[in-house]
């Protein structure tokens, strides 16, 4: 199994809570020959938890320890009240006995077996008639019963994904681990699979750890999210709490905040709940002033602000009578069409990336060189913390 070798120390600090009864609790330590050190302690309840982070953050290593594919040096893993690992008591349940469903990024389907035989692979201890009945039921629930006799090379990517999910779920697992299972699929196919996975989760309610780099998948599936970077948890909570209001530069990067500026606090306005910041575009030696939410800072303090491209409004006439505190005059320097989105680069002293619809581009007659105004709400300016792991 692949291991994230550029991770440093994984230190997850999630304390067990009453809501995790019947869920997953673990505390493990593992040092690998590569120098990677895993020191993890957390608890998650039933339902889908997204494990979100960049490559090398420790996501796959974490799943492998839970599955029993990587054996920790010390610790414990408890799933639904069953002890899978307890180094102090000499318990280390073999991976094959843990009843953990695992869908790998490459799916790992057996190419020489049919879809039906792939799904039945984990049911070898059952009698043939029972194996057939269980596999048929799960194939029907994922709408692929008609593919039972076909081999992986004879079906589409989305269908192979469904076969892999069915194989992981047919054993009635106590935990489901999904390592970027939908990567490479188009949006409609992913959406249909999301629906099936959500329906299955509602019916069974077991802990599901879903690894992804995709922000859309976080919001489409996750009831909670854990963000990993270099083996450390940077944030945890609901997707909206963690990603809509990021508090670190790395989370801003993961959550899609395209505009980030360093600067300083010029003045604080406690009664108004805001502060005035001067931020600069170091690449172009330009600067602008922005009103941002009041932080625990004083005048003269350094700041790092992030603004989503989709949170910026663009006008072709000077706006008046708005509640937004930031109205910046500028000029479009570049425009690019990407699928159903138009990306504009606007120079206001500092350069901003703005996301628009093709309809807005057409109706406003936007083009490079046109003078425009940007409208940015105060609370669209996120105060970010510089991370020691930024790169």
**Least confident segment among 36-45, 57-66, 141-150:** 36-45
pLDDT of residue 77: 93
Mean pLDDT, to the nearest integer, of 119-143? 91
pLDDT of residue 387: 55
Residues 6+ apart with CB under 8 A from 210: 48, 49, 50, 51, 178, 181, 217, 221, 222
| Higher-confidence position of 351 and 257 | 351
**Least confident segment among 11-25, 206-220, 339-353:** 11-25
Model confidence, pTM: 0.75
**In terms of Cα–Cα distance, which of 246, 239, 245 is closest to 210?**
239
Query: In this model, does residue 133 exceed pLDDT 90?
Result: yes
| Higher-confidence position of 33 and 301 | 301
pLDDT of residue 344: 97
Query: In this model, does residue 248 exceed pLDDT 80?
Result: no
Query: In this model, does residue 372 exceed pLDDT 70?
Result: yes
Query: In this model, does residue 124 exceed pLDDT 90?
Result: no
pLDDT band with cut points at 50, 70 and 90 for residue 7: very low
Percent of the chain predicted with pLDDT > 70: 92
Q: Which residue has the tokens 């994904």?
A: 161
| Higher-confidence position of 12 and 236 | 236
pLDDT of residue 215: 79
pLDDT of residue 10: 38
d(CA 151, CA 115): 6
User: Tokens at residue 365, please?
Assistant: 């007659």
Q: What are 249-291's pLDDT values in tens digits?
A: 777 777 778 998 999 999 999 999 999 999 988 776 788 999 9
Domains of the chain (ranges, CATH numbers): 9-253 (3.40.50.300), 254-383 (2.40.50.100)
139 neighbors 132 (Cβ within 8 angstroms): no
Mean pLDDT, to the nearest integer, of 13-24? 50
Q: Residue 194: is it exposed, middle or buried by C-beta count within 10 angstroms (0-12/13-18/19+)? A: middle
Q: What are 163-220's pLDDT values in tens digits?
A: 999 999 999 999 999 998 887 787 788 888 888 888 888 888 899 999 987 777 888 8
Query: In this model, does residue 371 exceed pLDDT 70?
Result: yes
311 neighbors 301 (Cβ within 8 angstroms): no
pLDDT of residue 9: 34
| Higher-confidence position of 35 and 345 | 345
Mean pLDDT, to the nearest integer, of 84-95? 94
Residues 6+ apart with CB under 8 A from 99: 171, 172, 173, 174, 175
Mean pLDDT, to the nearest integer, of 74-79? 92
pLDDT band with cut points at 50, 70 and 90 for residue 22: low
d(CA 111, CA 153): 7
pLDDT of residue 94: 94
| Higher-confidence position of 153 and 181 | 153
Mean pLDDT, to the nearest integer, of 77-82? 90
Evaluated on CA atoms 183, 184, 188, 192, the torsion sign reads negative
């Amino acid at each position: 199994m692949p291991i994230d070798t550029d991770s440093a120390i994984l230190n997850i600090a999630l304390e067990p809570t009453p809501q995790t009864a019947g869920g997953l609790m673990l505390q493990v330590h593992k040092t690998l020959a590569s120098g990677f050190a895993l020191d993890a302690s957390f608890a998650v309840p039933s339902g889908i938890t997204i494990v979100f982070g960049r490559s090398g953050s420790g996501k796959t290593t974490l799943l492998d320890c839970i599955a029993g594919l990587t054996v920790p040096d010390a610790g414990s893993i408890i799933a639904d009240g069953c002890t899978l690992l307890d180094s102090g008591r000499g318990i280390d349940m073999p991976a094959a006995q843990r009843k953990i469903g695992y869908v790998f990024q490459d799916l790992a389907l057996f190419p020489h077996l049919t879809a039906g035989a792939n799904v039945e692979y984990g049911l070898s201890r059952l009698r043939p008639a029972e194996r057939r009945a269980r596999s048929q039921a799960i194939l029907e629930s994922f709408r692929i019963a008609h593919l039972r006799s076909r081999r992986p090379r004879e079906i589409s990517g989305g269908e192979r994904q469904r076969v892999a999910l069915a194989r992981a779920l047919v054993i009635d697992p106590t935990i489901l681990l999904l390592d970027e299972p939908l990567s490479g699929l188009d949006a409609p196919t992913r959406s249909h699979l999301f629906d099936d996975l959500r329906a299955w989760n509602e019916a069974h309610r077991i802990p599901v750890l879903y690894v992804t780099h995709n922000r859309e998948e976080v919001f489409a599936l996750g009831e909670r999210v854990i963000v990993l970077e270099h083996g450390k948890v940077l944030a945890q909570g609901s997707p909206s709490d963690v990603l809509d209001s990021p508090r670190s530069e790395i989370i801003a990067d993961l959550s899609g905040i395209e505009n980030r500026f360093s600067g300083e606090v010029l003045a604080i306005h406690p009664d108004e709940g805001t502060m005035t910041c001067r931020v600069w575009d170091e690449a172009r030696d330009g600067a602008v002033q922005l009103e941002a939410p009041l932080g625990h800072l004083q005048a003269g303090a350094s700041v790092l602000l992030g603004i989503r491209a989709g949170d910026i409004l663009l006008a072709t006439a000077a706006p008046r009578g708005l509640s937004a505190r930031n109205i910046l005059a500028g000029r479009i320097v570049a425009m690019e069409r990407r699928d159903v989105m138009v990306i504009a680069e606007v120079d206001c002293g500092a350069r901003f990336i703005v996301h628009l619809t093709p309809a807005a581009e057409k109706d406003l007659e936007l083009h490079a060189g046109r003078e425009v105004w940007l409208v940015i709400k105060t609370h669209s300016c996120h105060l970010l913390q510089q991370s020691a792991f930024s790169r």
